[in-house]
Protein backbone atom coordinates (compact mmCIF):
# COMPACT_ATOMS: atom_id res chain seq x y z
CA UNK A 1 0.00 0.00 0.00
CA UNK A 2 2.84 2.36 0.84
CA UNK A 3 4.52 1.96 -2.55
CA UNK A 4 1.30 2.50 -4.44
CA UNK A 5 0.36 5.55 -2.40
CA UNK A 6 3.83 7.11 -2.74
CA UNK A 7 3.81 6.40 -6.46
CA UNK A 8 0.47 8.19 -6.93
CA UNK A 9 1.51 11.15 -4.78
CA UNK A 10 4.80 11.50 -6.67
CA UNK A 11 3.02 11.48 -10.03
CA UNK A 12 0.55 14.09 -8.81
CA UNK A 13 3.46 16.22 -7.58
CA UNK A 14 5.10 15.98 -10.99
CA UNK A 15 1.84 17.21 -12.52
CA UNK A 16 1.82 20.21 -10.18
CA UNK A 17 -0.71 19.01 -7.58
CA UNK A 18 0.75 19.07 -4.08
CA UNK A 19 -0.81 18.05 -0.78
CA UNK A 20 0.12 18.89 2.76
CA UNK A 21 1.47 16.11 4.94
CA UNK A 22 -1.66 16.29 7.09
CA UNK A 23 -3.91 15.81 4.04
CA UNK A 24 -1.93 12.78 2.91
CA UNK A 25 -2.12 11.18 6.36
CA UNK A 26 -5.87 11.83 6.52
CA UNK A 27 -6.35 10.21 3.11
CA UNK A 28 -4.47 7.09 4.21
CA UNK A 29 -6.33 6.81 7.51
CA UNK A 30 -9.74 7.26 5.86
CA UNK A 31 -9.18 4.41 3.40
CA UNK A 32 -8.45 1.81 6.09
CA UNK A 33 -11.04 -0.85 6.86
CA UNK A 34 -13.09 -1.30 10.03
CA UNK A 35 -10.52 -3.75 11.39
CA UNK A 36 -8.03 -0.89 11.60
CA UNK A 37 -10.42 1.57 13.27
CA UNK A 38 -8.96 1.29 16.80
CA UNK A 39 -5.47 2.08 15.48
CA UNK A 40 -6.80 4.96 13.37
CA UNK A 41 -8.48 6.46 16.43
CA UNK A 42 -5.31 6.08 18.47
CA UNK A 43 -3.26 7.83 15.79
CA UNK A 44 -5.74 10.71 15.56
CA UNK A 45 -5.66 11.17 19.34
CA UNK A 46 -1.96 10.59 19.95
CA UNK A 47 -0.25 13.31 17.90
CA UNK A 48 -0.78 16.36 15.84
CA UNK A 49 -1.09 15.00 12.31
CA UNK A 50 0.69 17.97 10.79
CA UNK A 51 3.92 17.05 12.62
CA UNK A 52 3.78 13.32 11.77
CA UNK A 53 5.62 12.10 8.69
CA UNK A 54 4.28 9.56 6.21
CA UNK A 55 7.15 7.21 7.08
CA UNK A 56 6.11 7.29 10.75
CA UNK A 57 2.49 6.63 9.84
CA UNK A 58 3.31 3.65 7.63
CA UNK A 59 5.68 2.34 10.30
CA UNK A 60 2.90 2.40 12.89
CA UNK A 61 0.49 0.71 10.49
CA UNK A 62 3.01 -2.03 9.67
CA UNK A 63 3.63 -2.60 13.38
CA UNK A 64 -0.11 -2.94 13.96
CA UNK A 65 -0.41 -5.37 11.03
CA UNK A 66 2.34 -7.56 12.50
CA UNK A 67 0.54 -7.58 15.86
CA UNK A 68 -2.72 -8.64 14.15
CA UNK A 69 -0.92 -11.46 12.35
CA UNK A 70 0.68 -12.61 15.59
CA UNK A 71 -2.70 -12.64 17.34
CA UNK A 72 -4.28 -14.62 14.48
CA UNK A 73 -1.49 -17.20 14.63
CA UNK A 74 -1.94 -17.59 18.37
CA UNK A 75 -5.70 -18.00 17.99
CA UNK A 76 -5.17 -20.70 15.35
CA UNK A 77 -2.75 -22.64 17.55
CA UNK A 78 -5.18 -22.38 20.47
CA UNK A 79 -7.97 -23.78 18.30
CA UNK A 80 -5.74 -26.65 17.19
CA UNK A 81 -4.83 -27.47 20.78
CA UNK A 82 -8.47 -27.46 21.84
CA UNK A 83 -9.55 -29.67 18.98
CA UNK A 84 -6.85 -32.24 19.75
CA UNK A 85 -7.94 -32.38 23.37
CA UNK A 86 -11.53 -32.92 22.35
CA UNK A 87 -10.61 -35.71 19.95
CA UNK A 88 -8.61 -37.60 22.55
CA UNK A 89 -11.38 -37.16 25.10
CA UNK A 90 -14.01 -38.47 22.71
CA UNK A 91 -11.90 -41.52 21.81
CA UNK A 92 -11.46 -42.33 25.52
CA UNK A 93 -15.21 -42.05 25.94
CA UNK A 94 -15.77 -44.49 23.05
CA UNK A 95 -13.38 -46.98 24.63
CA UNK A 96 -15.29 -46.80 27.91
CA UNK A 97 -18.57 -47.40 26.09
CA UNK A 98 -17.04 -50.37 24.26
CA UNK A 99 -15.81 -51.85 27.55
CA UNK A 100 -19.26 -51.42 29.10
CA UNK A 101 -20.89 -53.10 26.09
CA UNK A 102 -18.42 -55.96 26.26
CA UNK A 103 -18.94 -56.47 30.01
CA UNK A 104 -22.73 -56.51 29.47
CA UNK A 105 -22.28 -59.09 26.73
CA UNK A 106 -20.16 -61.27 29.03
CA UNK A 107 -22.76 -61.09 31.82
CA UNK A 108 -25.57 -62.09 29.45
CA UNK A 109 -23.44 -64.88 28.02
CA UNK A 110 -22.78 -66.28 31.53
CA UNK A 111 -26.52 -66.16 32.29
CA UNK A 112 -27.21 -68.05 29.07
CA UNK A 113 -24.99 -70.92 30.17
3-class DSSP string for 33-102: CHHHHHHHHHHHHHCCCCCCCHHHHHHHHHHHHHHHHHHHHHHHHHHHHHHHHHHHHHHHHHHHHHHHHH
Whether the Cβ atoms of residue 52 and residue 21 lie closer than 8 Å to each other: yes
Report how many domains make up the chain: 1
- pLDDT score at 82: 60
**Residue 17, SS3 per DSSP:** coil
Domain coverage including residue 41: 2-112
pTM: 0.55
* Residue 95 confidence class, pLDDT cut points 50, 70, 90: low
Amino acid sequence: MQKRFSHIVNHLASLGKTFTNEDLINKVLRCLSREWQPKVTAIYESKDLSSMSLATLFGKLQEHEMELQWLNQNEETDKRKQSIALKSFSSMQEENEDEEDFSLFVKKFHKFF
